[in-house]
Structure 1
């Protein structure tokens, strides 16, 4: 069944002006038709949003149409020869539509489907015009958000075919359309991703934000596909493809097509850096790099034959190529851009318009007069030489002279980078800094443009500085239940583990009693923190043993099934008296727990004085004066004949002494 016959819009009149003639293409968000503007009698393209995009939720149609109308007005003000012009907008049967310039030709997707991949010169020629259009949008504050081959149109020649791609006129479509649909979808669905995953920038996947560097990334993927004939990533699900952009670097095109010049690898990899700060700042900056790359290819390969296998033997691998920057003839008149447009590559001269018949006759007469006069010939030669010098100097200035190489600033300190930029006459700007485990604080992590890249003299380099290693203190979670403590630690990117729980007299079971590393210790993200939880109060209470004898302590601990550990210490207390204990009295412990006791050794020993031969009463006074209790036997009024302990015996202070007198 013919799908166009089933399309109810065919033949209908939109807004009393646009007669739908045929369907051109159907995309993910809209269908494109050819139509006749019956008021101006010209062919236009009409893009109508799918009903599923505009009416999934009836409550948001008005808001969607308002956003779509605002975007259409913004695009209509974007005037550039490489941008598909927008003529009108409105709604038909509740569906928003745009009326645009009708470009006779094919999409870049159709060209790639036929050719599979393009040679470097064709790739850079198309990229120049594509980036010129996107750069104009960036200057106007627009971000395309959906740069892909389907939105790049290659103009068709009047003869009915696509000319040499180097001389084709390229136009970019769908500026702002993705943004209008996405903004409306956000309100209903919460930041829905509306980009084509094969070309989506990492920051659009992870953060949902887009800026000019997002379009630079997508343009880099389109460059990769034109050079290699494929996109860098594929997968079974769109989400798998999208996250590959976040997790992996885009490979160099030469890894898939051996023989591609290194300048093309550098160009693609610069545009597709995962860090937006490391990419060219916008499409205009990338356009300058593409033009420099094209100049380099032209300088190196201007006389080289194009693309041939190294070996004549058949092979299933890609042939190694000798790449040439083919210098095409002047662009045909039908392919010329309007005045001031940048669509011709470096070194190509624009074909002059055909002179009118009267003006041609006058110019021919003037030429004949000047060439027949020696002074005239000399004047003509002087003018030609002067114009040649002006053209050469101007070409050198705009192509090379006004550029300088960006200095190497990565790994320098902020102060060193500023000094080097000042010496080179360049201005520094700073992107949002980020943490880095290896780079010290205030050292340069990245720069845009990269070192050795071309930059306009006096231009600006954007630096990304290091915040140093990311460290933060362990939060205090002691006294919290495990669930709350775990949530606090996970919030600061720490890994939580449980240690061996223990009894605690003051905290109930399930509450954190200790943490390792300790509270306040500096750790990095992802560090493991071990939580020790309380088991509640232990089942056995330690008795008070201080002041008791060792014998009493042994008895008491044995009854509680606790293990005694004795440590003797010097003390004035009597021998075997308990001086201290651990755990303290009243502490809760398990059966079999060791209780450490400090036991007195008793006072230090002293030498017993000699009292033999002294009268008993005198001897008693001497000993009692030194703290010895005295007992006398037989005759207290006689002389001391025997003393126990004896003379010079080592005894404890206060040892009782017995005197025998007769």
Structure 2
């Protein structure tokens, strides 16, 4: 007895309109049937959600989302959706019926495709996907099973069951969706998808079409997921030397681990594929348009997991391609030789696929995104995780951002996916990690910064100051944000700020310089000048700078202003009154007062008996120190 004969849906009239004829395919979420639309008298494919999922609002929402997503698209390379509704407790979706095969069927029969065949299929898929991306829709489950090859030559994308609006591409906290072999690194690690995630899946599909195998393989799904997150996709030509470099470049571009390094959407990738096609067709001998060859009709394909259309198909074949006709004939002969044991093998594979789907879809192997419970109390975090099916244990972690006693992080981290029933470690914050700061005073600024950041502390303010004893670029002192002196090192904490005071050298010595020269010297080191007081000076010439005076208390920093004190020359003092005094007494008094003398030198031998008649300036008159006093004597014999 066939599956169709035992399926209670066969013969059922859905919603008074759709007469179910036969089953086409069964997947993890729904079964697809061939039906007749009695109102419009046409054949349709009707997807019916599994009964055990009908009460799950999440699956029902996803089912309805497929209808809405696909219904927004009107493109020849996208499967049309005609209707969506509910009959009693049964949710259904009505689509156009396309007799044909899937890309997966084609790859099973031929292993790998030629570059020309790959380009033809990719152009069709990218055209349909470009329309989706332009409408703001991300497919999120692109794989060969969802690329339909109709027997009239059309190529269409189907199964938008995981599609979401591009504006809502954030992690949902639900199990990771999509077939693991085509998941982008960001979907594996963070559960986040956008148009570039679809591009990654297409890059993997393109690699598989060109080489006949997937780039990442493993015995367990998590092994494959790990490779997607950490490894680089190799060039297809490393497996198949016939692949031209233009297609190597497109595959590597589409499968870049960083989404920013991929095409931004399907339209950008389509443009590159078209350019590659022109280059490849220009470099090779002329050939006819590539025709995708279908497999012969095989048993058991009605139970394939993601099958959307009837596997009884045919593909247009160019009459001028005798090698392809010969290949099809050989394939049909091989299928007939396989006989009944192929049917048994397909049934076994379907059983394994069904069991695997249950284990990872709703069984103990299903994966759930770890929620962000940071900054919560440990008990509240444990309750949140247990409600999602996780076991918990407590750990400890230092944190510079989470207060002591609250949850700092989890292991696995928030956003990662883990199996229900697995253990999540809740790391409770111990506050910042203690560190020992080394002596910083006397180090160069660069060395001090390396020491600070090497301890995972943070460099705070760097105060530049003039210092006459500490060389330029050398740390004068260091302190914590709360003022603790760290110049000679001491205990501190990770993530805390260390403030530095760094010398810019001594203030230039401008004593004795002209005002213009002094201003130029000080401006060269970032200081400003302003006129200052004028003072008498016995040592600094008149109009020269005596000193540069800071205009505020404390250290001098670049950008500060100094007032220039200018010399008025020596201060004036009274000329001693020496008239009538002997020359020896008068001479000493005038010299001691700081004056120079102008006198008749013949008086020197007779100092003790020569008297001063007058001085110019006269005694008691103020005259600058260092100025000359003229002395007149009385006659030696007067």
Sort the TM-score into its range (normalised by shorter chain): 0.3 to 0.5
TM-score (norm 1): 0.45
Q: What TM-score does the superposition give when structure 2 sets the normalisation length?
A: 0.46
